[in-house]
Amino acid sequence: MLFRLSGIVLAGVFGGLAVFAYAQDPAFLVPKAFTVSQKTAKLSLVLGDASAPVSAAWASWPVRWVFVKTGEFQENRDTVNQWLGSDGSFDPPIPAPGAVMVGVDFQPRLEQVDSSRLAGLVLLRSNSNPSLVVRHYRSAIALLRTQTGTAQDEEGSAVATTETSLSATVHAFMDPTRLMLGGAIAFEVSVQGEEVEGSRLFVKCLATGEVTQLETETNMCHFTPKNAGAYEVCFQYARRTTNDPEAQYDLFSGTMTFSIPTPQGVKK
């Protein structure tokens, strides 16, 4: 039976309640600023559980693919090395004004998972081992805006609503960087190009710490933010592997970060 949990608000931090316990830590792209004034952006790799996020070194997390997309250009790389700053931060170029999407697919990792945490995502047999091995696919997206641009760029762009071919994707149907408070954002999630039904999403407002749990009914859910500012979205999905001698499950973690403007911050 599929229950829709859209709009349930959970106070506190991810780690404070069992419902917040991710099977394994997802990865977030966290920009130094969501409005970019330079020709590069500066983003950190943060692993969380948002109750105790940990900044990670990019060198320790090899990628399969990383890209920067604007309305005019998209640049793709199979490593972040070319875009690493002298301080170790990820500083990808911003090739054109307007909305900007930065996305990354990390190399999957074999990881041991407590079966009680994985049970929140899949139905486990009663004789499951205390720990299981998963092949963990992590993907992350950050939506940014440049400080300058043409009138068309400032009004909005299809960049923020573009579907990607990342292993685990959160797809927004409205550009949250131009959302007016009171409006709703529709999200869908997919893994390896296939839409996922019944997947839980956690949306955290970083200004207040408030977390909203959503669940996709058919393949979509809706979120109505109450506050401007930065947000983190995350979903996880697991499925049993077949003929895989190394892992019993594939685990997918997809995240998105963005900032909703204050009403005076939206140009008309």
Task: Report the candidate in 177, 158, 161 with the shortest Cα–Cα distance to residue 169.
Answer: 161
Percent of the chain with pLDDT over 70: 82
pLDDT digits (tens, 9 = 90+) for 53-89: 678 889 899 999 999 998 878 999 999 999 998 888 8
The predicted-structure confidence for 18-31, as pLDDT tens digits, reads as follows 345 678 899 999 99
Give residue 51's pLDDT: 53
C-alpha distance from residue 171 to each of 30, 47, 219 (Å): 17, 20, 11
- What is the average pLDDT score of the chain? 82
Q: What is the pLDDT of residue 261?
A: 85
Three-state secondary-structure class, residue 114: strand
pLDDT at residue 49 above 70?
Answer: no
Instruction: Please give the backbone phi and psi of residue 49, each rounded to the nearest 5 degrees, phi first.
Output: 5, 105
Query: At 22, is the secondary structure helix, strand, or coil?
Result: coil
Reply yes or no: is the peptide bond before residue 78 cis, omega within 30 of 0. Answer: no
* Sign of the torsion formed by the C-alpha atoms of 213, 200, 50 and 30: negative
Q: Categorize the per-residue pLDDT at 150 as very low, low, confident or very high, splitting at 50, 70 and 90.
A: low
- What pTM does this model have? 0.86
Which of the four pLDDT bands, split at 50, 70 and 90, describes residue 3?
very low
